[in-house]
Amino acid sequence: MAQYTPMIQQYLRVKADYEDAFLFFRMGDFYEMFFDDAQKASQILEITLTSRDGGSRDRIPMCGVPYHSAKGYIERLIAAGHKVAICEQQEDPKQAKGVIKREVVQVITPGTMMEGAGIQEKENHYLASFEQSGNDYAVAAADLTTGECRTAVFHSFDSALHELAAYGVKEIIMNDTWDAEDVKKINDRFGAVISIEEKADEFEFDALLSKLTHALTRKASVRLYHYLHRTQKRNLDHLQPAEQYEIRDYMNIDYYSKRNLELTETIRSKGKKGSLLWLLDETKTSMGGRMLKQWIDRPLLNEKDINRRLGIVETFMASFFEREELREQLKEVYDLERLAGRVAFGNVNARDLVQLKKSLGQIPYLTDLLKKINGDDVQQLADKLDPCTELFGLLEGALIAEPPISVKEGGMITDGFDPQLDEYRDAARNGKQWIAELEKEEREKTGIRSLKIGYNRIFGYYIEVTKANLGLLEEGRYERKQTLANCERFVTPELKEKETLILEANDKMIELEYELFAQLREKVKDFIPRLQNLARTVSEIDVLQCFAAISESRRFVRPVFSTDRTMIIEEGRHPVVEKVMDAQLFVPNHCVMGPKRDMLLITGPNMSGKSTYMRQVALIAILAQIGCYVPADKAILPVFDQIFTRIGAADDLVSGQSTFMVEMLEAKHAIVNATDRSLILFDEIGRGTSTYDGMALAQAMIEYIHTNIQAKTLFSTHYHELTVLDQSLEHVQNVHVTAAEQEGKVVFLHKVKDGAADKSYGIHVAQLAGLPDTVITRADELLHSFESKEHKPEIINEGQLSFFKEEQVPKPALKEDKTIVSKLLSYDIMEMTPLEAMNTLYALQKSAKKPAN
């Protein structure tokens, strides 16, 4: 350290405490970066890398950004997954003795952004802490912009990862005792910034932990709160007590299923458009949009709570005019949650508080509208709306209608709010009026019409006379102040006196306005809990009116819930596909599964609509359990505890897993965790491996689900040999998606009917895809050749054992072939899996059956 200048030594001492962040070191009007920070930041931000003398033999790399435009640069670094520590000057440079005192006032991280392009209006911005104890894991997730904090315990690592994925966390906080393999899995899955926070003392956060009963959730929440306070370095009064929830209180939809069903984003574009959230989101407030996403992520299991939401939706649907007026009034309500967060954080400005005032002004209108609607639950919502009348009055009396953005330049506070401020304003205004009158008098007395009184920050007020008119001035009338190329500037003792009065009044006025604004902000802080409760009620009203509007415009019906696991969907539709295409062209379908009909085995050609049919059943179940009407003519549904899907194929390239491995992992997750109250969607399981392996696996899964789980299951397959299973498995029913052949071309009818499909139309689909005619012709020839030689296997069940057996045909004379014997002797039977052994035996037998030459 001794080799560097005192300022660079100060920089290095501060940097040592923030090694994982870019240190923005304030020097005058710039934030400077040195050493490695400068080299890396210059590349990321595309700014010039320079150097400076720091006392050492070698010059020190340096780059910097202007403090007034630093916000954009910081956002770019955060978007790239980095952290930024803001180090400010803590004393006036003119009064400093030696090196100016500096300290870090805030660390901005991907999970603690409060504003900027990375914050989406209708999405939460979560960071989470991850805790482990034995086989238990706890996740605590918080949104600093709104103050929400939720926590839960999970009994497997994968379940906890699914929950982190549901939150869409930007940053994960852990201690340094985690296993390296687990940390790698977390990195591979999320790509989120991982931050280490060791301190976890509970006594500092007793009020925020009051609702927690599990020791592990307390530990996770404390680590999270510690990290937020350590990095933000201020009182975070908007942080709410952590809420502990039980995962079993909500329908469990794992990460894969949410992706496959495209609940909040599409698989291809990763965007909102084309997802269920996109279809449903007709909310009028940002906070309502965030609540809608939370509801989609966690459908309810409690039938009473579901029916309460459905009842309010029904009431809103029956009150069209009031609902439309309600929608218009909600447009005028700003984001109360994030406004409260900005108040607590200290970065709220006068315009934000005017938005808060306008929002509170809408609450009485919302209450009156809801009171006009019949329905006990709607009336209860109306009663929960707190207009915060005292706060509205305070803001109304304090702030002008259109204040400036800056809070340090005055012009925010209304006249009459503070007597001292009124005196300063009066002095400033009267002084300026005196200046205007003086200018008029001097023009008359001197006869110089172009004479004017001006002002600048260096010389203050002055009388300006052009050189052409200098001869008209009496000697000694003015005191010369400044000479310019084409004019002279003068002052008078009286003008100096008024200047002092005006400038003092202006300075004191601006200083007092800022003090009054800071006091106002502190008073608003006292209302933060009430504002947060109000925000939750307004959000709920917004989401439920949105459900009503969607249900009415899209012709949805209210679902009814069965107690015996019956599922009857008449003319069900995929809501998103129906919206994207012409609704008149969409073909609706029934899905009937009684207490003794647990599995539909679905066959039919590719592109016929099997996947759409399966997805629409799942989406109807999810819509019902979030409290929305569903796209069908009639819907009787069980309350599903979980939904598992395996639809589509995708390699997991990051972790090096093939399509087939991903398929097996997702299937395993469903089979291990499903219950008889679950819904399983399996689309063409086994297609990623050889025909016999795939067929054997598909049948084994069907049997296991049928016998051991008895979950409602939609299982599509191209293995037509499996369609005989309905003869031996009593809860399995064959259905197929119909298609017709016209003039050698396939026409998809998209209608689901009972029974198995008679053919797959694979070559027809290839033809529709535009493969060259020569390929299509050759494929058709090969198909006829294969079909003429094929011996179709039949499936025999003996108890729970199923296997394939060749049809009984005349046995050909076996040829004697020493190579077959040598092959047989070369196999290590004990190292083979049953499937490998079966395939090997089949190949040897086929070879032996070939006629001798």
In DSSP notation, 311-335 reads: HHHHHHHT-HHHHHHHHHHHTT---
**Would you give the distance in Å from CA 210 to the centre of its chain?**
28
Q: Has 609 been labeled as part of a binding site?
A: yes
Q: For residue 37, tell me if it sits in a domain.
A: yes
Token reading at 760 = 């797959």
Does the annotation place 168 within a ligand binding site?
no
pLDDT more than 90, % of the chain: 65
Q: Please check whether residues 361 and 499 belong to one and the same domain.
A: no
How far is 374 from 397, CA to CA, in rounded Å?
Answer: 36
Domain that holds residue 498: 419-521
DSSP string for residues in 667-729: HHHHHHH--TT-EEEEESTTTTS-HHHHHHHHHHHHHHIIIII--EEEEE-S-GGGGGGGGT-
Instruction: For residues 178 and 148, state if they share a domain.
Output: yes
Which of 1, 10, 56, 17 has its CA nearest to residue 32? 10
CA distance 17 to 1: 15
Residues 590 and 669 placed together within one structural domain of the fold: yes
- Burial label for 16, CB within 10 Å (0-12, 13-18, 19+), is exposed
Q: What is the tens place of the pLDDT at every residue in 128-180?
A: 999 999 999 999 999 999 999 999 999 999 889 989 999 999 999 999 889 98
Cβ atoms of 276 and 576 within 8 Å: the answer is yes
Give yes or no: residues 581 and 710 share one domain.
yes
pLDDT reading at 656 higher than 70: no
Out of 758, 779, 810, pick the residue that ends a domain: 758
Average pLDDT, the chain: 88
Asked whether residue 785 is assigned to any structural domain, the reply reads: no
Q: Element (H or E) spanning 579, and its range?
A: helix 575-580
Q: If DSSP codes are grouped into helix, strand and coil, which group holds residue 86?
A: strand
Structure tokens at 543: 């989401």
**Span 788-843, pLDDT tens digits:** 655 444 444 434 334 333 334 444 444 456 677 777 777 766 566 656 666 677 67
The Cα 506–Cα 378 span in angstroms is: 52
Q: Is 401 within a domain?
A: no
Whether residue 442 is contained in a domain is answered as yes
In this prediction, residue 663 carries a pLDDT of 80
Position 515 scores a pLDDT of 95
Q: Is 608 annotated as a binding residue?
A: yes
pLDDT at 688: 65
Determine contact, residues 688/834, Cβ cutoff 8 Å.
no
- Calculate what percentage of the chain has a pLDDT beyond 70: 89
Whether the pLDDT of residue 733 is over 80: the answer is yes
Confidence at residue 308, expressed as pLDDT on a 0 to 100 scale: 98
User: For the packed helices 610-626 and 303-317, what is the interaxial angle rounded to 10 degrees?
Assistant: 90
Is 688 a known ligand-binding residue? Answer: no
- Is the same domain home to 240 and 323? no
Are 613 and 540 within one domain? no
Q: What is the CATH number of the domain that holds 218?
A: 3.30.420.110
Are 583 and 686 members of one domain? yes
> Residue 653's pLDDT is what?
39
Q: Could you tell me which residues come within 8 angstroms of residue 637 by beta carbon, excluding any fewer than 6 positions away?
A: 559, 560, 561, 562, 567, 569, 620, 621, 624
pLDDT in tens, 389-409: 999 999 999 999 999 999 988
Q: Are 373 and 381 in contact (CB under 8 A)?
A: no
Q: What is the pLDDT of residues 167-199, one digit of tens each?
A: 999 999 999 889 988 888 888 888 889 999 987
Number of structural domains in the chain: 6
Angle formed by the axes of helices 389-398 and 493-525, nearest 10° = 170
Q: What is the pLDDT of residue 599?
A: 97
Tell me if 318 is assigned to some domain.
Answer: yes
User: Distance of CA 303 to CAs 144, 184, 400, 467, Å?
Assistant: 32, 40, 49, 90
- CATH code of the domain in which 489 resides: 1.10.1420.10
Residue 202 reports pLDDT greater than 90 = no
DSSP classification of residue 67: G
- pLDDT of res. 760: 65
Alpha-carbon gap, residue 19 to 24, rounded angstroms: 12
d(CA 107, CA 36): 18
- Shared domain for 447 and 482, answered yes or no, is yes
b/e map 123-155, b = 16+ CB within 10 Å: bbbbbbbbbbeeebbbbbbbbbbbbbbbbbbbe
In a domain, 404, yes or no: no
The answer to whether 716 is a known ligand-binding residue is no
Q: Give the span between the Cα atoms of 369 and 319, in whole angstroms.
A: 10
pLDDT the model gives residue 106 = 97
Q: Which two tokens stand for residue 424?
A: 């300063």
Are 158 and 305 contained in the same domain?
A: no
Report the range of poorest mean pLDDT among 6-10, 15-19, 454-458.
454-458
- How many CA atoms, within 13 angstroms, populate the side-chain half-sphere of residue 483? 3
Q: Answer whether residue 770 is part of any domain.
A: no
Tokens linked to 769: 């895809």
Residues 305 and 425 in one domain: no
Tens of pLDDT, residue by residue over 510-544, are 999 999 999 999 999 999 999 999 999 999 999 99
pLDDT reported for residue 834? 58
Q: How far apart are CA 27 and CA 51, in angstroms?
A: 15
| Count of CB atoms situated within 10 Å of the CB of 575 | 23
- The CATH number linked to 613 is 3.40.50.300
Mean pLDDT over 639-662 rounds to 70
Single-letter residue type at 117: A
Residue 412 has pLDDT above 50, yes or no: yes
Is residue 612 scored above 80 in pLDDT? Answer: yes
447 annotated as a binding-site residue:
no
My answer on whether 617 and 740 are in the same domain is yes
Q: What is the CA radius of gyration of the chain?
A: 37
Domain termination residue (choose one: 249, 271, 297): 249
Q: If phi over 0 gives left and psi between -120 and 50 gives alpha, with beta otherwise, what is residue 419?
A: alpha
The neighbouring-strand residues paired with 343 are none
Looking at residue 803, its pLDDT comes to: 37
Q: Is 360 helix (H, G, I), strand (E, B) or coil?
A: helix
Q: Measure the CA–CA gap between 853 and 848, rounded to whole angstroms.
A: 12
Residues 426 and 484 in one domain: yes
Task: Flag whether 633 is in a domain.
Answer: yes
> What pLDDT was estimated at residue 689?
66
pLDDT at residue 568 above 50? yes
Q: Taking residues 303-325, what's their average pLDDT?
A: 97
